[in-house]
């Protein structure tokens, strides 16, 4: 007998019929003799609807209350699915984040899971029930409701699988696996049978929202095998697993894009020791994650510092940088929201030179200007004007992965 954690995303629980479909899948798994813990998202569109309500109420909703509001989406789904299961003869119980003490830090809307108490879940499983857990939500040490960031139910699923030492975590979604690129942007994308945690970490952090990055961090840290698959078919999906020897043979395993960042340039700052610390200290203190950074060569004792931040934190970051401009006597602040980051990822990049050069050549052939570049051992990312994002993804996919659709 195995213990399986199954996470169903928003489209898989979008309406009553789809929730019944999930109940049928879960029941089939129970009938095979496995224990099942199900993690559900809010019904498709519900989290956006709730966020819009909050913004209708006030332009900058209180973060604590916003989390109280948006966490209700998942609660609805847990109850409906537990009803469907029990009604169909498969006893089930719904549990919310606070009832199993999914304890997080206090970073509302982007909280991190610190601990999970598995006692209640184990007791319910021992009583023969399917446990249906609300994804995306937890509580801080003072019992305030928190949420884990968009796509956070993936992280709830994998973190629960880790805490329960489950045999695997199945992520059910509206695609039948992880593809070499977002199939919505790149019709030539191919389904990957297996992918390493490290590559998946890069893909997720660089825009492949099929898995939330923190879910992959948990999977890697606790060696949870993750199976990404469709809730609408029975085809085998993609296994996200520890690196295997043959994986390095593939030069590029994915091309991603991310349009959720914006660029800020602090122009003409004095080029002195401690400057970067002075600029990025307050930004880090505000819990804003800075992604790419470039500093121009110094000219006449001053330099330009350009970096990207999530669009959600753009306004706050600009306010901080305006203050820094005054404090450092910088010449100005330039901002640009119309950018996109495009990346190629692959374990094979560790041992093969020339990927970055080939990437730049491919973009040059299309007359696409590169604004920023960053590299790591297994990825190269560039920032381009947002209007080129889809073209850049497609030509890079053609170059590194091929033009032919999956056989
Ligand atoms: P869910 O609601 O089930 O969590 P998401 O919308 O969060 O689903 O994630 C699934 C979507 O991720 C797919 O519909 C697809 O458009 C997108 N996606 C982006 N990159 C990839 C990729 N490399 N492989 C598969 N899907 C991807
Ligand atoms: N419902 C949340 C969201 O839309 C969490 C999730 O679906 O994973 O982001
Ligand atoms: Mg998702």
Output the tens digit of pLDDT for each of the chain's 407 residues. 899 999 999 999 999 999 999 999 999 999 999 999 999 999 999 999 999 999 999 998 999 999 999 999 999 999 999 999 999 999 999 999 999 999 999 999 999 999 999 999 999 999 999 999 999 999 999 999 999 999 999 999 999 999 999 999 999 999 999 999 999 999 999 999 999 999 999 999 999 999 999 999 999 999 999 999 999 999 999 999 999 888 888 889 999 999 999 999 999 999 889 988 999 999 999 989 999 999 988 888 899 999 999 999 999 999 999 999 999 999 999 999 999 999 999 998 888 888 999 999 999 999 999 999 999 999 999 999 999 999 999 999 999 998 875 54
Ligand nearest to the CA of residue 109, numbered in listed order? 2
List all residues whose CB is within 6 A of at least one atom of ligand 1: 9-12, 41, 151, 173-175, 178-179, 181-184, 203, 208-210, 254
CA of 3 to the centre of ligand 3 (A): 22
CA of 5 to the centre of ligand 2 (A): 17
291 is written with which tokens? 């992604």
List all residues whose CB is within 6 A of at least one atom of ligand 2: 9-10, 41-42, 47, 73, 135-136, 150-154
Ligand 1 atom with minimal separation from the 171 CA: 3
CA of 72 to the centre of ligand 2 (A): 11
CA of 71 to the centre of ligand 2 (A): 9
CA of 279 to the centre of ligand 3 (A): 33
CA of 348 to the centre of ligand 3 (A): 27
pLDDT at 405: 59
Ligand 1 atom with minimal separation from the 184 CA: 16
Ligand 1 atom with minimal separation from the 212 CA: 7
Ligand nearest to the CA of residue 210, numbered in listed order? 1
Of the candidates 73, 88, 70, the residue with the CA atom closest to the CA atom of residue 13: 73
Contact, 332 vs 267, CB < 8 A?
Answer: yes
Ligand 2 atom with minimal separation from the 152 CA: 8
Among 10, 73, 75, the mutation site with the greatest number of ligand 2 atoms within 8 A of its Cβ is: 10
Among 150, 210, 393, the mutation site with the greatest number of ligand 1 atoms within 8 A of its Cβ is: 210
pLDDT at 245: 83
The residues that bridge with 258 in the sheet, in sequence order, are 341
Any idea which residue has 């389904």 for tokens? Answer: 191
């Amino acid at each position: 007998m195995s213990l399986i954690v199954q996470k169903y995303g928003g489209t898989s629980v979008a309406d009553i019929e789809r929730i019944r479909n999930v109940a049928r899948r879960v029941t089939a798994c129970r009938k095979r003799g496995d224990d099942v813990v199900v993690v559900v998202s809010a019904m498709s569109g519900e989290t956006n609807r709730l966020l819009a309500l909050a913004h209708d109420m006030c332009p900058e909703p209180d973060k604590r209350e916003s989390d109280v509001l948006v966490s209700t989406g998942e609660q609805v789904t847990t109850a409906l699915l537990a009803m469907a299961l029990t009604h169909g003869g498969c006893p089930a119980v719904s549990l919310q984040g606070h009832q199993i003490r999914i304890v997080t830090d206090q970073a509302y809307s982007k909280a991190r899971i610190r601990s999970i108490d598995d006692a209640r879940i184990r007791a319910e499983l021992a009583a023969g029930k399917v446990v249906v857990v609300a994804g995306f939500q937890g509580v801080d040490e003072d019992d305030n409701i928190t949420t884990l960031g968009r796509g956070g139910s993936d992280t709830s699923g994998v973190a629960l699988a880790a805490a329960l030492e489950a045999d695997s975590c199945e992520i059910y979604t509206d695609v039948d696996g992880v593809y070499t690129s977002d199939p919505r942007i790149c019709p030539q994308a191919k389904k990957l049978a297996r992918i390493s945690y490290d590559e998946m970490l890069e893909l997720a952090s660089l825009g492949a929202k099929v898995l939330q990055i923190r879910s992959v961090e948990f999977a890697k840290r606790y060696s949870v095998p993750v199976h990404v698959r469709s809730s609408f078919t029975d085809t085998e999906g993609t296994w996200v697993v520890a690196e295997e020897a043959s994986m390095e043979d593939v030069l590029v395993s994915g091309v991603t894009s991310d349009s959720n960042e914006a660029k800020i340039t602090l122009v003409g700052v004095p080029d002195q020791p401690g400057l970067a610390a002075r600029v990025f200290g307050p930004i880090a203190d505000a819990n804003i994650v800075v992604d790419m950074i470039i500093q121009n060569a110094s000219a006449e004792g001053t330099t330009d510092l350009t970096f990207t931040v999530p669009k959600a934190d753009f306004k706050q970051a600009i306010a901080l940088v305006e203050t820094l401009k005054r404090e450092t006597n910088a010449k100005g602040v330039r901002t640009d929201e119309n950018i996109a980051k495009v990346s190629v990822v692959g374990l094979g990049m560790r041992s093969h030179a020339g990927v970055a050069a080939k990437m730049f050549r491919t973009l040059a052939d299309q007359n696409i200007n590169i604004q920023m570049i960053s590299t790591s051992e297994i990825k190269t990312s560039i920032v381009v004007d947002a209007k080129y994002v889809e073209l850049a993804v497609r030509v890079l996919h053609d170059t590194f992965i091929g033009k032919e659709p999956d056989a």
